[in-house]
Amino acid sequence: MDLGIRGKRGLVCAASKGLGRGCAEALAAAGVDLVINSRTEAEITRTAHEIAERHGVTVTPVAADITTEAGRARVLEAVGHADILVTNAGGPPPGDWRDWSRDDFVRALDANMLSAVALMQALVPGMMDRGWGRVVNITSQSVRSPIAVLGLSNSARAGLTGFVAGMSRQVAGSGVCVNNLLPGIHATDRANSLDRGVAEQDGIDLDEARRRRQATIPTGTYGTAEDFGATCAFLCSQQARFIVGQNILLDGGAVNVTI
């Protein structure tokens, strides 16, 4: 399917690997010129080079921490204007609700709520002026069904979800569609580190931890960054112009709800 976005300009955050990279790859395959970001210079530079080579688009890497004001300023300077924004950052560590300090919550809010809000505040007004834009925020299935050990994530992402629910309706009339994409378990480094956490906690080996987590998913498998990226690119397409303020769960059926 032609997504109708060839020649558009996009920013994908936290994209040297994992879900962010999946989104960058799929947008590049649709002909979108990109700025991509993550903290480690060598990795983001290599990823940008590989995506540009594979898809024949321009990909500009920016090594910066997207959760800091200074990092975002560097990224936004490289972007100038964007038609497409994919917000993303690393997820908070697992833990116990009794232990989380105010600083832990502030860090989680900065990473998984306020950085996305700041990027939308910087880029969506330009999209509205030009009469076209797409924003996809990578959140988590924990927005629909809490994961107790990831309480910092549950809290911060719920805040972002509430913000998007309101503002997405305010900007839709200017041709800008803002939606959230909620990953269930996908085979990335983040999933590997959560597998390791289960292995340690339950005193089992990594394969058994993975088997147990896979058994919680009706498909019996983890998702892939490619699956995730394809859905992200569709949400950024011309065809998605009527999808506004939605929370789209990509979880292989793991969250057991009717709607």
Note the residues at the interface with ligand NAP (CB under 6 A). Answer: 14-20, 37-40, 43, 65-67, 88-91, 138, 140, 183, 185-186, 188-191
Kindly tell me which of 104 and 239 has the beta carbon lying closer to ligand NAP.
104
Write out the E strands in 114-175: 133-138
Kindly tell me which of 94 and 125 has the beta carbon lying closer to ligand NAP.
94
CA distances (Å), origin 95, targets 7, 18, 99, 183, 198: 43, 22, 7, 20, 12
Kindly tell me which of 58 and 145 has the beta carbon lying closer to ligand NAP.
145
Task: Provide, rounded to whole angstroms, the least separation between the CB of residue 210 and ligand NAP.
Answer: 12
Q: Both tokens of residue 249?
A: 């769960």
Strand order, beta sheet including 9-12: 59-63, 33-38, 9-12, 84-87, 133-138, 176-183, 247-250
Task: Provide, rounded to whole angstroms, the least separation between the CB of residue 168 and ligand NAP.
Answer: 20
Please name the residues in contact with 195: beta carbons below 8 A apart, sequence gap of 6 or more: 206, 209, 210, 213
Task: Provide, rounded to whole angstroms, the least separation between the CB of residue 88 and ligand NAP.
Answer: 5
Task: Provide, rounded to whole angstroms, the least separation between the CB of residue 12 and ligand NAP.
Answer: 10
Kindly tell me which of 43 and 239 has the beta carbon lying closer to ligand NAP.
43
Please name the residues in contact with 114: beta carbons below 8 A apart, sequence gap of 6 or more: none
Task: Provide, rounded to whole angstroms, the least separation between the CB of residue 147 and ligand NAP.
Answer: 8
C-alpha closest to that of 191 among 67, 18, 22 = 18
